[in-house]
Amino acid sequence: MNRRVVITGLGVCAPNGVGLTDFTNALLEGKSGLRYQPNLEQLGFGCQVAGEPFVADKTIDNYFTPLERRGLNATGIVYGVIAGLDAWIDAGLDKNNTDEPSWDRGIIFGTGILGVDKFREAIHLIDDGNVRRLGSTSVIQTMASGISAYLGGILGCGNQVTTNSAACTTGTEGIIMAYERIRQGKADIMLTGSCSDSGPYVWGGFDAMRILPRGYNDNPTEASRPMSATAAGFVPGSGAGALVLESLESAQKRGANIYAEVLGGENNSGGQMGEGSMTAPNSMAVQRCIRNAIANSGIEAADIDVINGHLTATTKDALEIENWTKALSRKQDDFPYINSFKGSVGHCLAAAGSIECVATVLQFKEQVVFKNVNCDEINPEISKLISEANIPRQTIKYAPKVIAKASFGFGDVNACIIFKKY
């Protein structure tokens, strides 16, 4: 089978907005979710800035029962459940309240590491000889598939329910996997997305690598500067994004609202060969990933009018732009509009792809290209490759037709997905 696949629901729990309305307004206004984190200063971090969703207790109460909240200490699960259930509701879908699973509905919801704080709590209890105080939810909160298990149980899905993990590529990879399952006729509706925990135990390793900016602790909203001449490293973030993918036939039958169509995508790896490594991309693989995503989508490179890049605000930003120009055979004024949302949400690690895909799709709905935050002075190496006019410094009114979104992750793994206006 080769069915058309559309997006019928969106949900998000991001540093700059929890819920679709707040998130959309934040993007339109260029509002930052990056904040100074006092605990990081107390722990001796060089970078004391991070993006963390603000989720009030009363908000959590709307998504979890008192029993489910008891001992809940995994921020990634909280973010993922909020984003996932919001996307499900946004798609006009109900929870399954029958005695039989929904065989045509499934979940692919990724993460990198889950329940770090719960792990820490468990380690102390076990080392102190108090293993019986761990509680009955410690396992589900610390297993990687805990997020898909939570969502699968809440919604009663009977199709594939699983968790993928591919570092910073996780969210985009999962959307492609869900798309392929529906396209092949193995499911009608898939909830897909990804989440990432908050906190020093997740972010500490990156601070130790000295790839985070250290000069913006007193000016946190300006710390993340993708494509900028003054980019100094990525700012860590956390949260979750979620999308409901559905066969066009199913969506039309339900009379569902359709945000966009998924044309296709590609996942690959550079094998950590050549210039590729555990932390650096193999340009040959990146370009191949983009080209194959375009070919799999049945379009031409010239059809793409907007790109949402990975673009983390490191020295690799210029290399990513170079790879885009070579993969598309387009440069200077012929290059599409390009943006990065990491200036306002930071790099949300495993949640980055899904949060950014939600923002990317919202550009169809709002008929805009969202601005690049903190990018007043373009990296001169990028200016040599593409026109600065195609790097919006203000949100512009524009009706995108085809948007390419890519994510590149540690382990030399890549994902590129193509969205089209429906």
Could you give the angle at which helices 317-328 and 283-296 cross, rounded to 10 degrees? 40
pLDDT at 154 over 90: yes
Q: How far is CA 99 from the centre of its chain?
A: 33
Q: Quick one: pLDDT at residue 10?
A: 99
- Run of H or E residues at 22: helix 20-29
The last residue of one of the domains, among 260, 286, 315, is: 260
Q: Quick one: pLDDT at residue 71?
A: 83
Q: Quick one: pLDDT at residue 96?
A: 97
pLDDT at 410 over 80: yes
Please name which of 111, 101, 267, 263 lies closest in space to residue 187, comparing C-alpha atoms: 101
Q: Quick one: pLDDT at residue 25?
A: 98
d(CA 414, CA 359): 19
pTM of the predicted model as reported, rounded to 2 decimal places: 0.97
DSSP string for 166-215:
BTBTHHHHHHHHHHHHHHTTS-SEEEEEEEE--SHHHHHHHHHTT-S--S
Q: Quick one: pLDDT at residue 68?
A: 84
Residues 19 and 84 occupy one common structural domain:
yes
Residues 104 and 162 occupy one common structural domain:
yes
Residues 254 and 287 occupy one common structural domain:
no
Q: Quick one: pLDDT at residue 74?
A: 87
d(CA 394, CA 409): 28
The last residue of one of the domains, among 260, 279, 309, is: 260
Query: Sign of torsion, CA 413 326 206 202?
Result: negative
Residues 345 and 412 occupy one common structural domain:
yes
* Contacting residues for 253 by C-beta, under 8 A, at least 6 apart: none
Q: Quick one: pLDDT at residue 123?
A: 87
Averaged pLDDT of the chain: 96
pLDDT bin (cut points 50, 70, 90) of residue 119 is: confident
Residues 189 and 317 occupy one common structural domain:
no
The CATH number covering residue 340 comes to 3.40.47.10
Coil/strand/helix, residue 389: helix
Q: Residue 54 corresponds to which amino acid?
A: F
Residues 244 and 282 occupy one common structural domain:
no
Residues 42 and 147 occupy one common structural domain:
yes
Q: Average the pLDDT over 136-159 and give the result.
A: 93
Residues 164 and 88 occupy one common structural domain:
yes
**pLDDT tens readout for residues 310-368:** 999 999 999 999 999 999 999 999 999 999 999 999 999 999 999 999 999 999 999 99
Q: How far is CA 277 from the centre of its chain?
A: 22
pLDDT at 1 over 80: no
Are 199 and 116 a contacting pair, CB within 8 Å?
A: yes
Domain that holds residue 46: 5-260
Residues 139 and 236 occupy one common structural domain:
yes
pLDDT at 137 over 90: no
DSSP string for 271-304:
TT-TT--SSS--HHHHHHHHHHHHHHTT--GGG-
d(CA 277, CA 412): 6
* Phi–psi pair at 241, nearest 5 degrees: -130, 150
pLDDT at 109 over 80: yes
Are 376 and 42 a contacting pair, CB within 8 Å?
A: no
Residues 33 and 75 occupy one common structural domain:
yes
Higher pLDDT, 2 or 12: 12
Q: Average the pLDDT over 29-35 and give the result.
A: 97
* Phi–psi pair at 311, nearest 5 degrees: 40, 85
* Phi–psi pair at 372, nearest 5 degrees: -95, 115
Return the percentage of the chain with pLDDT > 90, whole number: 90
**pLDDT tens readout for residues 50-97:** 999 999 999 999 999 888 888 888 899 999 999 999 999 999 999 999
Residues 277 and 226 occupy one common structural domain:
no
Are 242 and 171 a contacting pair, CB within 8 Å?
A: no
**pLDDT tens readout for residues 386-407:** 999 999 999 999 999 999 999 9
The last residue of one of the domains, among 213, 228, 260, is: 260
Q: Quick one: pLDDT at residue 60?
A: 94
d(CA 274, CA 293): 22
Residues 386 and 352 occupy one common structural domain:
yes
Higher pLDDT, 259 or 1: 259
Q: Quick one: pLDDT at residue 11?
A: 98
d(CA 242, CA 63): 15
Coil/strand/helix, residue 256: coil
Domain tally, the chain = 2
